Structure 1
C-alpha cells in the first residue's frame, strides 16, 4: 500500500499523520472489497505501508489517473475542515494494497516522507 500526502498544504505533523491514517484505512477497506485476493496477500505478509510526498493537487490527481489506468484500487481523501484546511480539501491518496512492482509504476519516482 502507498499513501501519498500533499506537502503543499503546510499541514502539521499531526495532521499529516491523521490524513495518512484516513488513506490507509480507506484503501484497506476498499481493497478488501474490490481486490480481495491482493488485500489478503498484503495483510498476510505484514500489511506494508509506504508514505510518500506529492508536491501539489495536480500531481496527486495525475497519480490517481495512473492508478485508474493500471486498475489499482485507490481512494482520494478529502478533509472535513475542522482544523487546518478548508472543508473538502484533497489531502491524500491511498493506493492498493497491491503488488509492489505495480504500485511502483505509479509512485516509483516520489520521495519518501
Structure 2
C-alpha cells in the first residue's frame, strides 16, 4: 500500500509551500478512501512518494485515470493567501491503494 503525491514544478512554489500542499493532498485523498484502505495503509506504515508534475493539465489527466480505476484522489487548489493566485492547482494525491495500482497511474513520473 502507498500513496503518491504529484506536485507541480512549473509554478515556483517555495519549499514550505510545497510541503503544505503535499500535506493537504495526502490528507484529502486519505479522507476519501474507504475504511479498509485507510486501515491497511496505516498498518503498513503510510508509505508515500512525492513526484514531479509538469502542469495543471497533467495532474487532472492523472486524476481522471486514477478515478476510472477506483483509486482515491485529491486535487489541491491553493487558497491564495501567500505565494500563489487563489485557485492555483498545486498537487494531486493518488491513493492510498496497492502499490501496483498507484504505479499504474504515476509510475512514469520522477521523484521530487
TM range (shorter): over 0.9
C-alpha deviation, 1:59, in angstroms: 0.8
- Superposition TM-score, scaled by structure 1 size: 0.94
The runs of at least 4 aligned residues of structure 1 exceeding 4 Å deviation read none
More strand by share: 2
SS of equivalent residue, structure 2 residue 111: coil
Count of paired positions: 110
- Superposition TM-score, scaled by structure 2 size: 0.95
C-alpha deviation, 1:30, in angstroms: 1.6
Q: CA RMSD in A?
A: 0.8
C-alpha deviation, 1:68, in angstroms: 1.1
C-alpha deviation, 1:94, in angstroms: 1.1
State the alpha-carbon separation in 1 of the partners of residues 35 and 52 from structure 2: 27
Question: 2:48 is matched with which residue?
Answer: 49
Q: Please, which runs of 5 or more residues in structure 2 have no aligned partner?
A: none
Alignment of 1:10-89 (within 5 A): 10-31=12-33, 35-89=34-88
C-alpha deviation, 1:75, in angstroms: 0.7
Question: Is 1:98 aligned with 2:97?
Answer: yes
Q: Please, which runs of 5 or more residues in structure 1 have no aligned partner?
A: none
